[in-house]
Amino acid sequence: MVEMDGDLLEQVHGLLAGERDAIANCANVAALLFHGMERLNWAGFYFLRPDGWLVLGPFQGKPACVRIGPGQGVCGAAVLARAPVRVADVHDFPGHIACDVASRSELVVPILVGEHVVGVIDLDSPEPGRFEAADGTLVARVAAALAAGCDWDAPRGA
């Protein structure tokens, strides 16, 4: 269920105003998502590298997997699909990567700059079925705001 959707998106735009550094902006957005959406145990970013690997970026929550191989896990599936991937129960997702065994549901949204994926927003919850379609829509809008509001390296992703 989406909480404070309009307020959250407005806050994202406020955080991006006057700052274009992608790392700094993603750090603030990770904190905003973690504290602004209920029932999360992890909120953060993975950045896509030229070799196809996703590398951990700013996050809130327990320590996480540092590198995710091309196409692996929910994050890799979102990169390949170039679209949000919402998983009601990660135990039912083939190839799920369990960075935190307490996580039960996951939402991953790619950040697209032009045609290139530069990274993903990854949200985890200890509650099965936590994420609804509206959450995917909201987080996709956050990803679009980050794509437009940050200076990203030359496109290097998929």
Task: Please report, for the domain that includes residue 30, its CATH number.
Answer: 3.30.450.40
Report pLDDT for 4.
Answer: 52
**124: in domain:** yes
Our count of domains for the chain comes to 1
**157: in domain:** no
Structural element, H or E, at residue 47: strand 42-48
Divide the 158 residues of the chain into consecutive groups of 10 and give the mean pLDDT of each group: 68 96 97 97 97 97 95 96 96 83 94 96 97 96 98 64
Structure tokens at 16: 């991006």
**112: in domain:** yes
Q: Phi, psi (5° rounding) for residue 107?
A: -130, 125
Q: Containing domain of residue 81, as a range?
A: 5-149
Quick one: three-class SS letters along 20-44?
CEHHHHHHHHHHHHHHHCCCCCEEE
Report pLDDT for 10.
Answer: 95
Report pLDDT for 49.
Answer: 96
**138: in domain:** yes
CB atoms within 10 A of CB 138: 23
Instruction: Specify whether the CB–CB gap between 140 and 19 falls below 8 A.
Output: no
Report pLDDT for 3.
Answer: 44
**154: in domain:** no
Report pLDDT for 101.
Answer: 81
